[in-house]
Amino acid sequence: MQATESDILAAEAALSDWHRALEQHDWSAVEAGLTAEFVMIEQDRILGRAALLALLKGSAALGRQRASLHDFRTRVRGDVAWTTARNDAVWIATDGAQTPYGFLETAVLQREGGAWRIDRYHATRLAAR
């Protein structure tokens, strides 16, 4: 099955939409954007779906993260997509203080019922410049 440009853009949009839901603390959309078998590797931690959702909800009282994804490198084969992107994120604390930081991120997405969902996610925090 040949990937179309619309498949690539839809997979990238799903990842961007998931980050927007995370920023807005829209937990139902965050959860809906993940497969049942979701696994995330961030630095030295491996988190399943339930562990990630608990971590995110627990930190919500401290602030929110605003993502800025760019420089996507995306491929699609059938109902699987994988992409690597840069994320120039900003942590916005509840007191308004902002802390910028960057990540290199790779995601594997699975198309389920016509919707792209994140199945695997790897994020490496970049050193401050």
Question: CB within 8 A of 77, min separation 6: which ones?
Answer: 1, 3
DSSP the chain: ----HHHHHHHHHHHHHHHHHHHTT-HHHHHHTEEEEEEEEETTEEEEHHHHHHHHHHHGGGEEEE--EEEEEEEEETTEEEEEEEEEEEEEETTS-EEEEEEEEEEEEEEETTEEEEEEEEEEEPPP-
What does pTM read for this prediction?
A: 0.92
| pLDDT, tens digit (0-9, with 9 covering 90-100), for 74-100 | 999 999 999 999 999 999 999 999 999
| pLDDT, tens digit (0-9, with 9 covering 90-100), for 54-74 | 999 999 999 999 999 999 999
83 and 72 in contact (C-beta within 8 Å)?
yes
Q: Which structural domain, as residue segments, surrounds residue 79?
A: 5-125
**Number of domains the chain contains:** 1
Q: 106 is written with which tokens? A: 């790779």
CATH of the domain at 30: 3.10.450.50
